Structure 1
Amino acid sequence: MVEAAFDVAGLVGYRYRTDDYYEVGREKIREYARAVQDFHPAHWHHAAAADLGYTGLVAPTTFISIAAMLANRRLLETVITGYDVFVQTDQVFEMYKPLVTGDRLVSDVELASVRRIAGKDLLTVTNTFTDQRGEVVQVMHTTIVGLTSADVDAGIGDAIGHVIMHGFDTSSPAPVVNTGGKAPISEPTYSTVSRTRTPCTAPRFEDIAVGYELPARSARLTRGDLVNYAGVSGDANPIHWNADIAALAGLPDVIAHGMLTMGLGAGYVTDWLGDPGAITRYGVRLSNYTVIDAAAAGTVEFTGRVKSVDPETRTAVVVLVAKSGGRKIFGLATADIRLA
């Protein structure tokens, strides 16, 4: 087994803050909503968003992953350099306030933990996003597996270099709070937004109970959808659009982005809710992948069931199941929701 060429566990606590903000744009919201097939009117039309009490178009649940992709690039490409490929396994979104057009987001990036399981390193990266008011709006936890040449074809690095888009500059170091890779020198302090907004959901709390089943829904994905998502999201990993690279990574064919299937799942829930801002937490463990054949569309089938309810807070937890090709692609997926 070839291990990473450095003690990655010694980097736990390494953190930095992005030196520029990410501004949430109207057209980017529409692009992303299209990419994850989320056609809720509040992502597209100002009047529909205003009817729900929003000041601008509302970003889909997983939209923040775009800003995280940009913020994390320095960590994964210039700090943690001992792996050939990263594969996403778990994702958690904590939403304190829905994102709307005009929000300016700054991310604190931290390598929060490293675990070694079955000879592989599982790394969890935490992004804490604050807006122009200095308030925490969302927190995102991403767990990835770092793979070396023992796990994938040794030539994958060179092969990726021949097909990947050029133009990324990751040579300049990130401004870091902890340059030694040890525990942070000082913990940043945050002001967290309280969830005081009253949701405008179609189902009311009184309409549901434990065991309530959401209407099933299917989504179709083609290679064109994967290419579009790669461009919109910034996830340029060629295993999602190049069959030769996918084979070098040990995959049977091109596979859909894990974040794309998560976006479809989140849209499935918010479409039922009627209010894109009614999800407060969304967590997914990826257990399998969606293979997309070059000549035919792939299908992801979603079902959901209410697992628990809390009358005092008018909240509930929904368990999602996603299947493709007869395989469960979500191991455990839950959405915490607030209801009118």
Structure 2
Amino acid sequence: MKFAIISDLHANLAAFKQVLQDAAESGAEAVVCLGDIVGYGPLPEETLLLARKTLFLAVSGNHDDAVSGRLDASSFIDLAYEAAERHRRQLSKESLSYLKSLPHSAEIEGAVISHGDLTQPDAFNYIDSEEAAAANFACSSAQLIFVGHTHTPSIHITGNSGRVYSLAAQDFVVEEGKRYIVNPGSVGYPREEGGKCLSSYIIYDSSEKTVKFRFLPFSVSSVMQRGRVKPRAVALPIAISGALAAAAVLALFYSRGKGLPSPEGRPVAAITAEENRKVAEKTLTLAPSYKTVRANLKLKKGSPSAQVETVFLDAGGNTVETSSKKVKEKFSSAVKIPKGALSVKFKVFKTDYINAPQILVFDPTAE
């Protein structure tokens, strides 16, 4: 499965949407967040609503815990503390409950995820040195560990010798005999490097065992604010991009008004990647005389594209054959029924994580 691994959104809705779009175009099947969905930025409720609709799995970060009330934010720098208080006032009860429900660590295919280090996940210590990485390799047997929190893309690696090395962010293939701690950086609150602020995240392919970094530019660069805290404290001093710093100031005057409706459904950890992107589904029972089926899908003019999956099933509900087609306007071509198929499911999916196709007609037939 191909995962987009993101972290540290910090209520930056525009950056989040940009990364979701890029992840979809990069072939990601599910999006996993390493925490800090909120904190700092101007749009906590809107960012959380989108996160709840699109994330396959999320763990809690220190700012998420501070906003939900699970963590005392008194050790935060002033900007972070004030943002946590403001976000708590702005969020709906449903959003606050969602934040409180997030685990501090979890597992995905072939990897462990956490916001901070794994020795005590709810303490949110940083993995920002080879010594800290060594402690985490010692407390977990996982070959691949994804963490956020520092806002800096990085890799720590160890092998049979037990020595830990720090590497700059780079694409790699997971090798037998080696273990990795990988930080994707930050989506909404990146450090400035070389005069540029870049949102960053990772594409992790659990089947191919590949890890690839993605970098997307902000429209505004520069740094505005630095904080001073104790080493390994809750809030790391981070260079704020001009765009986010300006947003933090504007957020002091931002009013949520009536707010947005909370999406219904199960907790994010229980929602599959397919459910996140599925728009419609219809099933047909197939008579022995039928030879072909048609989706008969037509989209409204100007609609975002759709992906149509045709799944043939046998008497036990097992998949006999599957095909998929991207649809820009309509899809009514005949698809041959394979031997042993007694029913067929037509599933319509979004081709990205944000824009759903607008269906005008969806009337599958068999003949």
TM-score exceeds 0.5: no
Q: Which has the larger radius of gyration?
A: 2
* TM-score, structure 2 normalization: 0.21
The answer to which structure, 1 or 2, has the higher relative contact order (CA under 8 A, 6+ apart) is 1
> When the two structures are superposed, what TM-score results if normalisation uses the length of structure 1?
0.22
